[in-house]
Amino acid sequence: DAGVIQSPRHEVTEMGQEVTLRCKPISGHNSLFWYRQTMMRGLELLIYFNNNVPIDDSGMPEDRFSAKMPNASFSTLKIQPSEPRDSAVYFCAVSGRLNTEAFFGQGTRLTVV
Amino acid sequence: AQSVTQPDIHITVSEGASLELRCNYSYGATPYLFWYVQSPGQGLQLLLKYFSGDTLVQGIKGFEAEFKRSQSSFNLRKPSVHWSDAAEYFCAVGAEGTYKYIFGTGTRLKVLA
């Protein structure tokens, strides 16, 4: 996880508010992934980017979710408006080459009340 | 469709005992296989990976895994478990030709002193 820095580590927000999760990958990784982890559904891939371009967003649950990667060293995942069922741990991960391992950040624990 | 199955949700072993965590995958081509460990409040850390070659792979922290194509399995083993090994373990398969990873539901390991 040394290759990925996520912020904040914890976020508590009220239902209906906008939430922005941030990810700063260390350079040299071409692919970036956003995952959501819950007890019920385990690890779900939400979206992934390759060379800053979104490749597959089929895992994004609803239009309330959006992700951007304006450059190779920064990505955001936004939820607007947030709902209690969005409560989960959100992970950012990166990989350098095709079919190599992914390196995970420490995650952001989101609680929507 | 690609899938990963970890049949054991929870496993409890005594410290010093041997450990085997099971992982079965469904994938048409040559799989890229991974084991990750997640400690509480942390991200996923790579333990080991298999891409090709020797079917017995060594990882960090004394773990090893064996790829058995005939059984579609990639079980994780450790000869002597330490209390610090208590964590959740995830098996994952990389989809060839893409950057996507499919994770199993995880096995939570408890170690008795």
| pLDDT tens digit sequence for A64-88 | 999 999 998 999 999 999 999 999 9
pLDDT beyond 60 at A1: no
> Quick check: A105 and B43 CB within 8 A?
yes
The beta-carbon neighbor of B99 closest among A43, A55, A91 is A55
Residues constituting chain B: 113
Residue-level pLDDT at A2: 55
Mean pLDDT of A42-66: 92
CA A87 to chain centre: 13
Are B43 and A107 inside 8 Å of each other by CB?
yes
Q: Which of B43, B99, B106 sits opposite A95 (nearest CB)?
A: B99
Instruction: Supply the mean pLDDT for chain B.
Output: 92
Asked if B38 and B45 count as a contact pair (C-beta separation under 8 A), the reply is yes
Cα of A19 vs its chain's centroid, Å: 12
Phi (first) and psi of residue A70, to 5 degrees? -70, -25
Distance CA A66, CA A76 (A): 8
| Closest chain A CA to residue B90 | A43
Q: Which residues does chain B have within 8 Å of residue A53's beta carbon, measured at their own beta carbons?
A: none
pLDDT of residue B95: 72
Task: Determine whether the interchain pair B99/A98 forms a contact, defined as Cβ–Cβ distance below 8 Å.
Answer: yes
B48 vs B98, residue with greater confidence: B48
Minimum-distance CB partner of B101 among A4, A102, A106: A102
Distance CA A92, CA B62 (A): 27
